């Protein structure tokens, strides 16, 4: 008998900026200091932490150099987060289009 496969789809995703902010805090440095170490502007680091700017491949490589965490990890966190946002958008769109239940 074949095993049933249930795909893992959590109902949340951690933004890469949240992970980055946590790591910066653990290292005991400011966002500006981290930005200097990875060669990016403090504004970009702030925007990533705020969830406004995505982690691009180039940024992931610089984060890797400054943090020691592989660029693929940063890109994976980013991809998971953006996919989660898209799924939520689709779910909300389906809910908005669904007919309202009848009122008694």
Dist. CA 41–CA 43, nearest whole Å = 5
CB atoms within 10 A of CB 15: 21
Report whether pLDDT(1) > 70.
no
List helix spans (H) across 1-104.
16-27, 31-38, 42-50, 57-67, 71-97
Report whether pLDDT(16) > 90.
yes
Q: Which two tokens mark 27?
A: 């290292």
Dist. CA 83–CA 42, nearest whole Å = 26
Q: What would the pLDDT profile of 47-80 be if each residue is shown by its tens digit? A: 999 999 999 999 999 999 999 999 999 999 999 9
Give all domains of the chain, ordered by start, each with its CATH number.
Answer: 16-92 (1.10.260.40)
Dist. CA 37–CA 60, nearest whole Å = 13
């Amino acid at each position: 008998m074949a095993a049933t496969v249930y795909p893992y789809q959590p109902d949340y995703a951690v933004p890469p900026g949240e992970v980055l902010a946590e790591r910066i805090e653990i290292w005991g440095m400011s966002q500006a200091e981290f930005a200097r170490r990875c060669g990016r502007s403090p504004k970009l680091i702030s925007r990533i932490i705020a969830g406004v700017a995505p982690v691009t491949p180039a940024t992931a490589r610089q984060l890797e150099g400054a943090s020691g965490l592989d660029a693929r990890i940063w890109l994976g966190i980013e991809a998971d987060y953006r996919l989660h946002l898209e799924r939520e958008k689709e779910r909300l769109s389906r809910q908005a289009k669904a007919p309202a239940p009848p009122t008694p």
